[in-house]
Amino acid sequence: MRDEAMLPLLERAADLRVPDGASENGEQIVEVVWTTGATVRRVRWAWEGPEEYDEELVVEPGSVRLGRLNGGAPFLDSHQGGGLGAVLGSVVPGSVRLEGGSGVARVRLTGAEDAQAAVRRVLERHVAISVGYRVYRYEVERREGGRDLWRAVDWEPLEISAVAIPADAGARIRAESGMEVANLCRITVRNGDAAVAAVEQEGGMPEQRNEAGVLPAVDERGVAQVQEGAGGGADEVAEVRRTAAEILRLCARHDLGQEFAAELVARGVSLDQARAAVLDRLAERDNHGARTVEPVPAQVRGGPDTAYRDAVSAALLHRYSPAEFELPAGAREFRGMSLIELARHALGRDGRSTAGLSRIEVATEALLGRAGLHSTGDFPFILANVANRTLRRAYETTPRTFTSWARQRTIADFKPVSVTQLAGAPSLLAVPESGEFTYGTIGEGREVYGLLTYGRIVGITRQVLVNDDLDAFTRVPAAYGAAAADLESDIVYSIFTGNPAMADGQSLFHASHGNLGTAGAISEASLSEAYRLFGAQRGLEGRLIGVLPRFIIVPPGARSVEARKNVTATTPDAVAGVNAFANRLEVVEEARLIPASGADPWFMAADPARIDTVEYAYLDGQQGVYTEVRQGFEVDGIEIKARHDFAAKAIDWRGLYRNAGV
């Protein structure tokens, strides 16, 4: 599957229409033509150097993905997507349309004070308009004696921007974060009436897909194209050229053929990896396939990949933590084997000989395959499975105290979510005989928040296998898993310690919210005051809502002792010794509530099933840590990316209480 998040954001000039007196309900509205589909000149980097081509955006239903734009995409200042201060407005939902080969949309401008200078320039027509978009598929038409035509037949506008100078409609080189469009989108080449995939041209290499499942861009000889601007500019392009030239000389010196050299260049291997590939090819040529495959035990020979991988994974997990992971019968033969021994075993099972290979060569072959290229064997999957299991287990077993008193939900995407606070039903009114029933309304309030993505990458290198360093893909991923769980707690409890502002402009804990107690220790008197404040809370309609606390949330130390003493049942000798709050509150102890200085505060929360308090959310379908594995690029090995989508927000102050303590 194509990783669309890695596609670069491209830019094009667009037109601005500002109707006279453009205002609706006090809001400023402008209309923009965000594309005309015009043909513009671009530049790409091919084997021989810069090469011009024409780009045309096909503005037809079925070619343009309008979902994001029509859903209220942002109107930005100069394509700046890194902060809220760059937002000048948003596309009016449902206003986007295609007409006469152009794309038109209406934009609602913000009334924020810090954006008024830019908004004024927009209304005065002193700015240009540019559209940011991504291309998912090109059709390339070869033109004899002229520039090739690249027609974007599947593309998506993402945002519209006000800019001082629009994107250059002439030759320019565009890339973002080191990723070029040619290496990520599908390209179809048309020679006359025949349409063929770019890598299937005469003289090209067999189809090779990258990890996103898409075809890399190659020229007519099967050599990968390089675009300047992909992270390093001209210096990086020069380095790529030097590497390619050295690879060509190396292959020519050993008479390995231009096809083999072109394959190495197209795959983007480093010079060291190319030298290793040349040595491997020479060894294969000299030995003529004389190596024999090491014997494979009968119980796993030809068996299902999943069964074999699970057995070896289980043996490694048992070695990592015998008390936590049992050793099943099918994994006993792998017990006590080192990582290199397991790598040799996996290579033999895949039909690859390790006879005469050193430890580092075995590690390279097991993780990367021939010449540092992508391996399709079992071993990378085994290591990734072990790392994933330890990471996930650590995440699940790391304590998170907020789950008892906060409410969980899932969110479908990364757009801001508006959580509605519904008031209670209106009071019922007496209806006299023959009288009429009257209508009532239910008020509402809103709190807005959205998911954020957090993540890190764990690399498993050849050196890990040679050193038999099991901790590198057990304890290190486990530490990441625990860190992900700790991150959730940090985010949730920062709401208590940071006391953020709510939608009404007041802090979460504020006297006007009726949830801030008189500073004091946890005692019968202070608890009585807290219950009184809870009982006095009124809903949006102004009626008493009858919410009572269920949890008392404290830092470890004196507050924790006070809390437990006040909720523990006792056998008193007299009425004065009765514990009035026995068994009425659940104590939650959280170290993150220890202040940097001053007295220890304490908090109370109502049952989240009764009223909204704090809400925490995951991305739908990916609750907790989500992992992805790829062949190493930054490291010679495999990389495991741990990604975590999480957010938390206080929804209603009426179910929460804070006391500063003494």
pLDDT in tens, 448-504: 888 888 888 877 777 877 787 777 778 878 888 898 999 999 999 999 999 999 988
Q: What does 562-624 look like in DSSP terms, one character per residue?
A: HHHHHHS----SSGGG--TTTTT-EEEE-GGG--SSSPPPEEEEE-TTTS--EEEEEETT--S
Higher pLDDT, 527 or 330: 527
Alpha carbon 459 to chain centroid distance? Answer: 18
Residue 449 in tokens: 């928040």
The residue with tokens 């409609």 is 169
631: helix, strand or coil: strand
Cβ proximity of 57 and 29 under 8 Å: no
Other CB atoms closer than 10 Å to residue 554's CB: what's the count? 26
Dist. CA 508–CA 555, nearest whole Å = 19
Helix (H) or strand (E) holding 267: helix 258-267
- Single-letter amino acid, residue 297: P
Q: What's the pTM value of the predicted model, to 2 decimals?
A: 0.50
Condensed to tens digits (0 to 9), the pLDDT of residues 233-290 reads 456 666 777 777 788 777 777 777 777 777 787 777 777 777 777 777 776 665 443 3
Alpha carbon 444 to chain centroid distance? Answer: 32
- Single-letter amino acid, residue 511: A
The CA dihedral of 518, 520, 526, 527, to the nearest 10 degrees, is 110
Condensed to tens digits (0 to 9), the pLDDT of residues 644-658 reads 999 999 999 999 999
Do the strands 74-77 and 148-163 form a parallel or antiparallel pair, or are they unpaired? Answer: parallel
Dist. CA 640–CA 460, nearest whole Å = 8
Other CB atoms closer than 10 Å to residue 3's CB: what's the count? 14
Residue 212 in tokens: 């996103």
Strand partners, 41: 54
* CA angle, 379 then 381 then 387, to 5°: 105
Other CB atoms closer than 10 Å to residue 412's CB: what's the count? 10
pLDDT > 60? residue 95: yes
The residue with tokens 């954006």 is 115
CA distance readout (Å), 37 to 88, 129, 307: 25, 15, 53
Backbone φ, ψ for residue 201 (5° rounding): -70, 160
Confidence of residue 400 (pLDDT cuts 50, 70, 90): very high
Burial label for 498, CB within 10 Å (0-12, 13-18, 19+), is: exposed
Higher pLDDT, 302 or 370: 370
pLDDT > 60? residue 372: no
The residue with tokens 């008392």 is 552
The residue with tokens 């991150």 is 487
Dist. CA 506–CA 500, nearest whole Å = 8
**Alpha-carbon radius of gyration of the chain:** 32
Residue 243, pLDDT score: 79
Other CB atoms closer than 10 Å to residue 46's CB: what's the count? 19
Backbone φ, ψ for residue 219 (5° rounding): -90, -170
Q: What does 338-374 look like in DSSP terms, one character per residue?
A: -HHHHHHHHHHHTT---TT--HHHHHHHHHH-GGG--
Do the strands 407-411 and 614-619 form a parallel or antiparallel pair, or are they unpaired? Answer: parallel
Dist. CA 176–CA 178, nearest whole Å = 5
Confidence of residue 23 (pLDDT cuts 50, 70, 90): low
The residue with tokens 């990458």 is 457
Q: What's the mean per-residue pLDDT of the chain?
A: 75
**End-to-end Cα spacing for the chain:** 58
Dist. CA 608–CA 148, nearest whole Å = 62
Other CB atoms closer than 10 Å to residue 494's CB: what's the count? 13
Nearest of 397, 399, 405 to residue 586 by alpha carbon: 405
Residue 597, pLDDT score: 93
110: helix, strand or coil: coil
What mean pLDDT do residues 43-69 have?
76
- Single-letter amino acid, residue 553: I
Dist. CA 357–CA 339, nearest whole Å = 15
Largest CA-CA distance found in the chain, in angstroms, rounded: 107
Condensed to tens digits (0 to 9), the pLDDT of residues 566-604 reads 887 665 655 556 576 777 899 999 999 999 999 999 999
Condensed to tens digits (0 to 9), the pLDDT of residues 162-188 reads 877 655 443 232 323 333 333 345 555
